[in-house]
Structure 1
Amino acid sequence: MYVAVKGGERAIDAAHAWLAEERRGDPAVPELTVAQIREQMTLAVNRVMAEGSLYDPDLAALAIKQARGDLIEAVFLIRAYRTTLPRFGQSRAVDTAAMAVDRRISATFKDLPGGQVLGPTFDYTHRLLDFALAAEGAPPPAPKAPVRDEPVPHVTALLDRDGLIEDQPKDDTPAPDLTRQPLELPASRALRLQALARADEGFALSLAYSTQRGYGRTHAFVGELRIGRVAVEVDLPELGFAVEIGEIELTECDTVNQFKGSKTEPPQFTRGYGLVMGQSERKAISMSLVDRALRWHELGEDFTGAPAQDEEFVLSHCDNIQATGFLEHIKLPHYVDFQAELELVRRIRREATQIREAAE
């Protein structure tokens, strides 16, 4: 047994060495730097930060490099590192109304206070391969984007002003911290949003798409999608006031959904909400659609059996690290389990053969 263990260790060391060689690739090709990944693969970096629950572009870029571009593995690395960090306190809730927007669009109002800001987006590109990028020459200088530090009002405030959208109740009760405590069901909306914010983007996208195809009571319009920077403030008791410690980039999505009203509520629109670290439009929109689907109970709607309406199904399966761990563990040794089942199948077959022969 000792020899087998030692042999296994040598094999694992060799596998690690081979992995490092594969990660590096052809030594004749210059190695990617963390700074290059951070600056030129920003959407991948943003996804790793969001699903890893840690806002640090440098560490996210390092994780992507170490994981050979496997974003789920990079998220795993970030989460594992985050668990080693001490926590000194918590910040105030960020004020997205004060966001310095880089991109801000609305599908519900063409003309709105503050205007539409297209910002950096693939929405209007032709989806044709740009072979000029393969030439690796210096790109032509891009026109300077206007700096917009003035806050712009939320679009839903326009509907709220006329009482056409549901009130947004304020709840100052601290939500449980999913990075420190296990998920408990039933979950409050704050906890559901926290889980969805760090959920796998592909899973959230599939659920959101299912609601659009009829598997859930949503017919959403993007009231507003905004991307920009918000200040992070921390209360310092010894000073008696809050201090800004930095700023982070966020993507926020408010969806406006149809609602027929009820015996106690007049006809009005309802809300879906998504907020994600970094630029992550697809995730924020998906999150807002799933959030709205999960609100069927509090809005007095019928449960249609759609997956996106099932809180336990959504929250128990949206985490990619938990899903990956359970999925990939089946490739690890299960020799004893399989041998037990193999012997059981053989015994059943022998007994069946004996019964058949006796009958003949």
Structure 2
Amino acid sequence: MYVAVKGGERAIDNAHRWLAEERRGDAEVPELGVAQIREQMSLAVNRVMAEGSLYDPDLAALAIKQARGDLIEAIFLVRAYRTTLPRIGASEPVDTGAMACDRRISATFKDAPGGQVLGPTFDYTHRLLDFALAAEDVPPPEPAATAQASGTPMPRITATLGRDGLIQQEPASDETPTDMTRTPMEFPADRALRLQALARGDEGFVLGMAYSTQRGYGRNHPFVGELRIGTVAVEMELPELGFAVEIGEIVVTECETVNQFAGSRTEPAQFTRGYGLSFGQTERKAISMALVDRALRWQELGEEDTGAPAQDAEFVLAHADNIQATGFLEHIKLPHYVDFQSELELVRRLRREAEAAAGPARQEAAE
């Protein structure tokens, strides 16, 4: 007979102390500070903020430190903390058209209005390990010889196509979208809800779905119309004043893809859009979002359902959240002694019944 392992609170407390010891590592090595993580692991911080739905670089850096670099665990910590915060109101929609861009590129027009701004990117690096970074007391790099982000709004690339009627116009709406952090998601989900789920979704999962559309599972052939990274103002309307005031700034990444559309009986041939927006410099996430967003629009555009996973909204949105996936996956590590005993007894009973039924048959065969 199998019996439950006993340990209780003492074993759990020891496990937590051991975890803290492992997190600290060798005491002879200087401890990482939250400020170091925030400033030198900014892309990890950005991902935690994006998928944790909380823009706070310090808290994201703290979560990464506490989670020993496990970004999904850090995202879990940030989301858990987020639920304890009071909600005092809602901000106005951010105006990404007025973004002060650190990086802004287009794959559709070489001479884009406003120019191409390469900004900080891995795109042109050789992907070779830089062993100089392993040296102690590495001097800081020299400032880049480039212009600082400009506050002058850069025209949108899609506006160029829009002037000629070559791209579908997005319908404007004053309706407040459903907040999926406060209301459980229901299907069918509208586009605003889908974009929220993709913004909070696991980067690797959304990337995999986006890659599948490029390989033919969804007939999605995109061009990056525009990718921009920069600072936008966050405004909030104060009832006492009767107008919106700026309460801060955040860094976001925005991507608009341009996709082919053969047209229909009611609409001429034109391009359509995919859209992605995420906290911080998270361009892989924003591009992936845009590709999956466009794949999920097949029905509203009257396109054929090819049966591709990226076209199935319920499949994509129900499996994109890494916190839900982690919780369901890791709960099987917890005690399931009673369930297993039930399964074990069932298997034993089936074996006894099978052996009893096979007994006479074996006896007849022996005779």
**TM-score, normalisation: structure 2:** 0.96
Distance 1:5 1:82, change over 3 A: farther
Which amino acid in 2 is paired with 1:71? L
The equivalences for 1:1-360 within 5 A come to 7-136=7-136, 137-147=138-148, 148-359=150-361, 360=363
Task: Name the CA distance, whole Å, in 2 between partners of 1:220 and 1:250.
Answer: 22
Structural RMSD (CA)? 1.1
Task: Name the CA distance, whole Å, in 1 between partners of 2:145 and 2:54.
Answer: 30
Task: Name the CA distance, whole Å, in 1 between partners of 2:193 and 2:6.
Answer: 46
Task: Name the CA distance, whole Å, in 1 between partners of 2:5 and 2:308.
Answer: 49
Query: Secondary structure at 1:235's aligned position in 2?
Result: strand
Length, aligned pairs only: 357
Unpaired runs of 5+ in structure 1?
A: none
Query: Secondary structure at 1:150's aligned position in 2?
Result: coil
Which amino acid in 2 is paired with 1:237? P
Which amino acid in 1 is paired with 2:175? T
Offset of residue 6 of structure 1: 8.4
Query: Secondary structure at 1:258's aligned position in 2?
Result: strand
Offset of residue 26 of structure 1: 0.3
Offset of residue 141 of structure 1: 1.4
Task: Name the CA distance, whole Å, in 1 between partners of 2:179 and 2:31.
Answer: 38
Which amino acid in 2 is paired with 1:13? D
Query: Secondary structure at 2:270's aligned position in 1?
Result: coil
Which amino acid in 1 is paired with 2:181? T
Query: Secondary structure at 2:261's aligned position in 1?
Result: coil
Task: Name the CA distance, whole Å, in 1 between partners of 2:249 and 2:277.
Answer: 15
Which amino acid in 2 is paired with 1:38? R
Provide Cα deviations, 1:282-302, integer angstroms capped at 9, x if missing partner. 000000000000000000001
Query: Secondary structure at 1:233's aligned position in 2?
Result: strand
Provide Cα deviations, 1:108-160, integer angstroms capped at 9, x if missing partner. 00001110000000000000000110113213413243122211011000001
Percent identity, aligned pairs only?
78
